[in-house]
Amino acid sequence: MDLDPELAALRPPGPFFALRTVPCGDPAGLPALARAYAPDGPGDPLTARVDIVARRLRTPEPRVAASLAQQGLAARLWSVALGCAVLYGRLPDLRPSLLRWDVEASAPDDLWLTEVRRGPGDAAGTAAALADTVLLGHLEPLGKTLRDHYGVAAGLLWGNAGSALAGAARELERWSRAQGRTGTAARTRALTGELFGHPLLRDTGTRTGTAFRRRSCCLYYRVPGGGVCGDCCFPRPPAAPPAPTAVPDKGDPPAG
């Protein structure tokens, strides 16, 4: 199937798969994801998104907000790319410079593609093309920025990527089977299996059918009122470490 200007085939599986394109509106003024991956000072979109997530979840820990912001974006990117690979048999050009990000919007209204065109190079719907597009083109530079700015561990971020891929694949396969599209479901499972063989995802968790158990934690349990996710490595929320109590030296001035 040829790519259409509105990527309409992505809508039926659910809103997380749909991608806004220019015929659906005007993304003028929204920053490109490329800027989020290379922040250039105050007001950059990644910092803004992390601050918004922290405020909405009422978490005082920037590292927690950064992890959850990354996982949400990873889920959108995987859903769009995997959906295109399965339903169109090819990928559009999803480079960070072409994707606009509405940092104040919640999914699925957060991403816009400014131009629908066939992806560069090998744009077929293969696992290799998906890995190049999502893992290397988006999640690797995003992860580096989050590690540098927020100190989020690399293993945690790749665990988020694996969890997001597993969730997108599970939903796409569920929809395909409900529609009687057994070939689409099989294609989804095959591509997902190949992707989890990639060195960046291979050690993120274990898969049994469509279920996934990760080897890391996204830190959601540290959100006020949060708990553990269904694929978490922890069976129950771990006890939070006690806050350190500073013991001032006799020569130190009093805090205030």
121, 54 contact by CB (below 8 A): no
Q: If you search the block for the tokens 């796409």, which residue do you land on? A: 172
25 vs 94, more confident? 94
Q: Pick the more confident residue, 233 or 150.
A: 150
Q: Do residues 111 and 19 lie in contact, with contact meaning Cβ atoms separated by under 8 Å?
A: yes
Kindly report, residue by residue over 159-218, the tens digit of the pLDDT.
999 999 999 999 999 999 999 999 999 999 999 999 999 999 999 999 998 899 999 999
pLDDT digits (tens, 9 = 90+) for 113-164: 999 998 876 567 899 999 999 999 999 999 999 999 999 999 999 999 999 9
Task: Cite the beta strand spans of the chain per DSSP E.
Answer: 20-21, 99-101, 111-113, 205-208, 211-214
Separation CA 28–CA 19 (nearest Å): 16
C-alpha–C-alpha distance, residues 25 and 14, integer Å = 19
Asked if residues 74 and 103 have their Cβ atoms less than 8 Å apart, the reply is: no
pLDDT on residue 146: 96
- Segments making up each domain of the chain, as ranges: 8-222
pLDDT, tens digit (0-9, with 9 covering 90-100), for 20-67: 997 666 677 899 999 999 877 667 999 999 999 999 999 999 999 999
